[in-house]
């Protein structure tokens, strides 16, 4: 029987790759995005490709808005898997501004908690699972993006805490921690030959990751094969974080 999957931040990058992977397996997927234009564009692109699954749909959601979250969850008759991929980052030293710091944490950490709490009743009905998106910066700091790093460190501990709290209700909670993944967010580094090669040089598997690499790990953690796994934060970084 197809499962119902809800993926925030599913209109681009890693979230989109995860959404496509679930849909390709026959699941019903609702992917959300913050930017209405991007969501509409992705929906149109997906609808015009006959090779794509009709079970993947897109909608707009701002994870900082509780009323939007409540309305969206209420619209779903059931829910088997929640993937929290909505996130933001402010580069160029902007995260040292307290307002910007708060905005990043509100999306990345508070938004994840809002979704988890809101979806919990429906997930409990189905023995469902939650997958959060952490980061390599969950394990070590960054002098450039303190809010992003703090929020992703928080995601790691939130994942473990909810795994303990909700295990008795049959809800598994895990996370993946991507390393250097080629997406629109990392384009400036990918296009900088010296920095790109420096990252490759430190990565034991000697390459950048792809969104599909992360999607593979996500699919495993949300599958019956991972039925005895909860509270795990799984690095998907080619070994970068062990160096």
pLDDT tens readout for residues 142-170 = 999 999 999 999 999 999 999 999 999 99
Residue range 45-67: average pLDDT?
A: 87
Kindly state whether residue 192 falls inside one of the protein's structural domains: no
Quick one: pLDDT at residue 47?
Answer: 83
Q: Give the max Cα distance, the chain.
A: 51
Quick one: pLDDT at residue 45?
Answer: 86
In DSSP notation, 189-228 reads HHT-HHHHHHHHHHSTT-S-B-HHHHHHHHHHHTSGGGTT
Tokens 């969206």: give the residue.
Answer: 72
Q: What angle do CA 8, 10, 16 make, to 5 degrees?
A: 155
Kindly state whether residue 201 falls inside one of the protein's structural domains: no
Write out the catalytic residue numbers: 148
Kindly state whether residue 190 falls inside one of the protein's structural domains: no
Kindly state whether residue 243 falls inside one of the protein's structural domains: no
What is the pTM (predicted TM-score) of this model? 0.96
User: How many whole angstroms separate alpha carbon 186 and alpha carbon 94?
Assistant: 17
Helices 111-126/146-166 angle, 10° precision: 20
Kindly state whether residue 193 falls inside one of the protein's structural domains: no
The chain-wide mean pLDDT, for the chain, equals 96
Element (H, E) at 234: strand 233-236
Domain that holds residue 110: 4-182+212-236
Kindly state whether residue 128 falls inside one of the protein's structural domains: yes
Kindly state whether residue 178 falls inside one of the protein's structural domains: yes
186 or 235, higher pLDDT: 235
Confidence of residue 54 (pLDDT cuts 50, 70, 90): confident
Residue range 172-180: average pLDDT?
A: 99
Quick one: pLDDT at residue 50?
Answer: 62
| Domain count for the chain | 1
> CB burial class (10 A; 0-12, 13-18, 19+) of residue 200?
middle
Quick one: pLDDT at residue 51?
Answer: 67
Q: Give SS3 for 55.
A: coil
Quick one: pLDDT at residue 46?
Answer: 82
**Residue 157 sits in a domain of what CATH number?**
3.40.50.720
Q: Which of 231, 235, 94, 60 is nearest to 157 (CA)?
A: 231
pLDDT tens readout for residues 2-24 = 999 999 999 999 999 999 999 99
């Amino acid at each position: 029987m197809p499962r119902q999957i809800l993926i925030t931040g599913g209109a681009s990058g890693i979230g989109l790759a995860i959404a496509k992977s679930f849909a390709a397996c026959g699941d019903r997927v609702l992917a959300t995005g913050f930017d209405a234009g991007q969501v509409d564009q992705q929906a149109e692109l997906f609808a015009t490709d006959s090779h794509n699954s009709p079970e993947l749909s897109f909608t707009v959601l701002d994870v900082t808005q509780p009323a939007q979250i409540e309305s969206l969850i209420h619209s779903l008759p059931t829910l088997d898997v929640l993937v929290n991929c909505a996130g933001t980052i402010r580069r160029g030293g902007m995260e040292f501004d307290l307002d910007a710091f708060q905005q990043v944490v509100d999306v990345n950490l508070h938004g994840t908690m809002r979704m988890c709490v809101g979806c919990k009743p429906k997930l409990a009905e189905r023995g469902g699972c939650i997958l959060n998106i952490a980061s390599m910066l969950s394990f070590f700091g960054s002098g450039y993006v303190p809010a992003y790093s703090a929020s992703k460190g928080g995601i790691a501990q939130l994942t473990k805490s909810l795994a303990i709290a909700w295990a008795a209700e049959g809800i598994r909670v895990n996370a993946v921690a991507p390393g250097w993944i080629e997406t629109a967010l990392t384009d400036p580094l990918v296009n900088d030959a010296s920095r790109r090669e420096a990252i490759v040089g430190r990565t034991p598997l000697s390459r950048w990751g792809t969104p599909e690499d992360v999607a593979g790990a996500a699919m495993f953690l949300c599958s019956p094969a991972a039925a005895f796994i909860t509270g795990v934060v799984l690095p998907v970084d080619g070994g970068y974080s062990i160096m």
